[in-house]
């Protein structure tokens, strides 16, 4: 029996697809698993800021069309790049165990965030990162950057940057953890909903693949990202609005989730935050409750200004 995984062609995307391939191959020795590389709109428009090229569909649309047509059997995505509403006929079949969800700084001379000199130029592809970090340090100069991880790391030198903000998970998965100068505390920069988890997308009516991908699922991560994505869906946000969300199981009780969320203006002058806890088994309701708390504090004004 053969299974075809659809993936983008970057080194990180292929690492993620190979993670799924190896895990499926170990669980099912008689299964043949192949990877098909699919170029997305986000890849083709690699030099345009994310906030200007549309929603998260730019990373997933072409892969989802291949999935719906039957030319691939499953897709492996960075969950933070997936819209909260999937195309009709597609579902999340599994969520991987989460890597380190924090954002990190890669910098010249390994300076940490708080030691960057006044006026230092810091690059990031994310309005969410820019808004929160600008709120913490309005003296820094933030600029946009695009490209895969290797391209961004090279730009640290070629574009005379003082630092780049990236996801810890991507660097660790690519074996580049030694490039990290500083881990950014989530109290300063809350991750994107779903950050550091992988989403396994499948056809809703494909029982064969549904059964196979169960070995890729992590129940604890699934509960956490369900809360985060429910919050994001209730807010109706996308790449053009700085929204952060992170949920984790309370160490004192495995059935309690703690969820933090923020909505910010792109210039970082206003950051609205909300935190709540709830039963892990009611993760979706917790996400909606945090979204409601953010809206009650004025988040709708920020979201409507963007629209």
Structure tokens at 142: 């933030």
Residue 15 carries which DSSP code? H
3-state secondary structure 101-118: CCEEEEEHHHCCHHHCCC
- Beginning with the edge strand found earlier in the chain, give each strand of the sheet holding 141-144 in spatial order: 141-144, 121-124, 163-167, 103-107, 182-183
272 DSSP β-pair partners: 263
Three-state DSSP class for 241? coil
Q: Is the dihedral of CA 70, 44, 216, 87 positive or negative?
A: negative
Report the alpha-carbon distance of residue 167 to residue 47 in Å, rounded: 19
Could you give the CA distance from residue 29 to residue 162 in angstroms, rounded to a whole number?
48
Strand locations in 13-83 (E) = 32-37, 74-78
Tokens encoding 162: 């003082």
Q: Which one is catalytic: 30, 43, 81, 178? A: 81
Q: Is 185 a catalytic residue?
A: no
Residue from 19, 23, 3, 1 nearest 11 by CA: 19
Using CA atoms, how far residue 272 sits from 163, 290, 296, 298, in Å, is 26, 11, 10, 8
SS3 246: strand
Q: Return the active site residues.
A: 81
């Amino acid at each position: 029996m053969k299974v075809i995984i659809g993936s983008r062609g970057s080194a990180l995307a292929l690492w993620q697809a190979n993670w799924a391939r190896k895990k499926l191959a170990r669980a099912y020795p008689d299964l043949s698993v192949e990877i098909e590389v699919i170029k997305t709109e986000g890849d083709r428009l690699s030099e345009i800021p994310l906030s200007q090229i549309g929603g998260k569909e730019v990373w997933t649309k072409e892969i989802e069309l291949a999935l719906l047509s039957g030319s691939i059997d499953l897709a492996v995505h960075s969950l933070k790049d997936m819209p909260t509403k999937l195309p009709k006929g597609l579902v999340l079949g599994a969520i991987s165990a989460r890597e380190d969800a924090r954002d990190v700084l890669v910098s010249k001379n390994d300076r940490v965030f708080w030691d960057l000199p006044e006026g230092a130029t810091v690059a990031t592809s994310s309005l969410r990162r820019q808004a929160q970090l600008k709120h913490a340090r309005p003296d820094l100069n933030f600029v946009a950057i695009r490209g895969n991880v290797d391209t961004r790391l090279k730009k640290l030198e070629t574009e005379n940057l003082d630092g780049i903000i990236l996801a810890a998970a991507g660097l660790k998965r690519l074996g580049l953890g030694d490039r990290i100068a500083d881990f950014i505390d989530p109290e300063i920069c809350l991750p994107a909903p779903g950050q550091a988890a992988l989403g396994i997308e499948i056809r809703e009516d494909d029982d064969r693949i549904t059964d196979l991908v169960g070995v890729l699922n992590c129940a604890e991560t699934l509960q956490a990202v369900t809360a985060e994505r429910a919050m994001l869906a209730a807010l109706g946000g996308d790449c053009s609005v700085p929204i952060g969300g992170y949920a984790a199981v309370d160490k004192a009780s495995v059935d309690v989730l703690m969820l933090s969320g923020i909505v910010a203006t792109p210039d970082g002058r206003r950051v609205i935050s909300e935190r709540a806890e709830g039963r892990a088994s009611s993760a979706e309701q917790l996400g909606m409750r945090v979204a409601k708390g953010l809206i009650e504090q004025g988040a709708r004004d920020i979201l409507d200004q963007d629209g």
